[in-house]
Structure 1
């Protein structure tokens, strides 16, 4: 069929391939959920900017967003370098917390007798104050050692990952259990084919929380000392010197780092758990 005949078919020129159409539909739906948050953020920044200008608040108390943005632009290489140092500890702590949390959840699902001691340990770790843990890990590993910061993050990540993964592994639907029993599936096969896929949504729920708290844990640990080129140390030192525009620029970069990790986990979840998105 020639191109001219295609052009004469009503609606032929407006049709899109199915994958592209599905992608556009998903993009529009996702944008619909993002727009309100973006608008609220812009409105909040506008109120902050004009409120500071009208009220005449001193910059050392609360600098305007425009001043923070200007400072961030001027010190961008320095802050990015400090963020990279902090990011190494965050990623290491996140990895340690996720691995230990998942292993503990697997142990609970395979040997329910271990559920009580492991859950007790998890509760104790979750109740431990970061301010108390940071000096201890600094003494163990050294102030400038990345493990002293990553360990704090790992403790904070462990609890949400462990609890959510355990919940997902133990919540097995009766119909799936009956099916695997009728097929004479071994516990290992049941774990690989049913329990782990069913637990993935719950695991990612915990991972989203862990991604954000890992940044908080490392920054708090860096307040008690760390490499000179670290984001938490930079924020602490600049605040002590009353350079509050630089301090706020560091806070903005730390918030951006947390949002970046959270978004990365969301994208990873969409790739690993596509059936959850289709179900919603």
Structure 2
């Protein structure tokens, strides 16, 4: 019963919001350049599914690479910081600086460094956006392991691999996956925004700006819808991976 409510309630809320949106556009005669109606957006989305999928593939690949690279680096850095707290203190300023770097300033610099025809800049932007939440959440998870549990494992002559498998990872993994779920959406958003400021043609960001510059606002919103779907796919994939890992998580 609770599961059905968790699914039905958001659906009802979403449908109600779309109906209010559609009726508001019709009642107040809102122009498309201000806010197209859901029907117009859905129509453009249906007519341009191949191009939306193609643009989503470009943005999605950059976001995926950024998610993998940023996630691995974030977890690895958290492991080192948990082992040697002095590294956490030394890297605190760097992490804080990375968290406030504006994409609008970083993307053009990276395009200059790696070339305007390469996707590398977009992938780096996504990786940086992913690194911060994964690192912070992973580090918090590693710090949740109680010393008494480690001492108990050592008393049983457990090897470091066994301690990691039975104590450290089961304790820290919920925090790691929380960081990944947050980062999954950030990866898509960052890769998309980086497309606004140069680089090769392709991707949802470029498609949105091209449609808007041509005054085809309904099509621009159709690409926005594509980016929303892509972000939900990334979030759903990381959530599914977390649930799969929790089922196979060994008990301490």
After TM superposition, the score normalised by the length of structure 2 is 0.94
**Corresponding residue for residue 161 of structure 1:** 134
Cα RMSD (Å) of the superposition? Answer: 1.6
Among residues 104, 112, 134, which one is paired with 1:131 in the alignment?
A: 104
**Corresponding residue for residue 103 of structure 1:** 76
Among residues 208, 217, 226, which one is paired with 2:199 in the alignment?
A: 226
In the TM superposition, what whole-angstrom CA distance separates every residue of 1:183-214 from its partner, at most 9, and x where no partner exists? 23354542333112211000010001100001
CA displacement at 1:34 relative to structure 2: 2.1
> For the pair shown, which has the larger CA radius of gyration, 1 or 2?
1
CA displacement at 1:132 relative to structure 2: 1.2
In the TM superposition, what whole-angstrom CA distance separates every residue of 1:153-211 from its partner, at most 9, and x where no partner exists? 00100000000001111111354234213223354542333112211000010001100
* CA–CA separation in structure 1 for the residues paired with 2:106 and 2:7: 37
- The count of corresponding residues between Structure 1 and Structure 2 is 249
* CA–CA separation in structure 1 for the residues paired with 2:187 and 2:241: 17
Moved more, 207-216 or 127-136: 127-136
* CA–CA separation in structure 2 for the residues paired with 1:156 and 1:228: 22
* CA–CA separation in structure 2 for the residues paired with 1:144 and 1:40: 43
Moved more, 257-266 or 189-198: 189-198
Among residues 176, 179, 191, which one is paired with 2:149 in the alignment?
A: 176
* CA–CA separation in structure 2 for the residues paired with 1:269 and 1:114: 28
**Is the Cα contact below 8 Å between 1:52 and 1:62 reproduced in 2?**
yes
**Corresponding residue for residue 56 of structure 2:** 83
* CA–CA separation in structure 2 for the residues paired with 1:187 and 1:124: 34
CA displacement at 1:275 relative to structure 2: 8.2
Q: Check 1:103–1:174 CA distance in 2 against 1; reply closer, same or farther (3 A cut).
A: closer
**Is the Cα contact below 8 Å between 1:144 and 1:225 reproduced in 2?**
no
* CA–CA separation in structure 2 for the residues paired with 1:147 and 1:36: 41
* CA–CA separation in structure 1 for the residues paired with 2:157 and 2:85: 21
**Corresponding residue for residue 118 of structure 1:** 91
**Corresponding residue for residue 43 of structure 1:** 16
* CA–CA separation in structure 2 for the residues paired with 1:148 and 1:77: 25
Partner SS, residue 117 of structure 2: coil
**Corresponding residue for residue 266 of structure 1:** 239
Moved more, 38-47 or 227-236: 227-236
In the TM superposition, what whole-angstrom CA distance separates every residue of 1:96-133 from its partner, at most 9, and x where no partner exists? 11011011011112222211122322111011111111
5+ residue gaps, structure 1, are 1-27
**Is the Cα contact below 8 Å between 1:104 and 1:118 reproduced in 2?**
no
In the TM superposition, what whole-angstrom CA distance separates every residue of 1:132-167 from its partner, at most 9, and x where no partner exists? 111111111122311110100001000000000011
Q: Check 1:112–1:186 CA distance in 2 against 1; reply closer, same or farther (3 A cut).
A: farther
Relative contact order (alpha carbons < 8 A, sep ≥ 6): 1 or 2 greater?
Answer: 2
**Corresponding residue for residue 220 of structure 2:** 247
1:92 aligns with 2:65: yes
After TM superposition, the score normalised by the length of structure 1 is 0.85
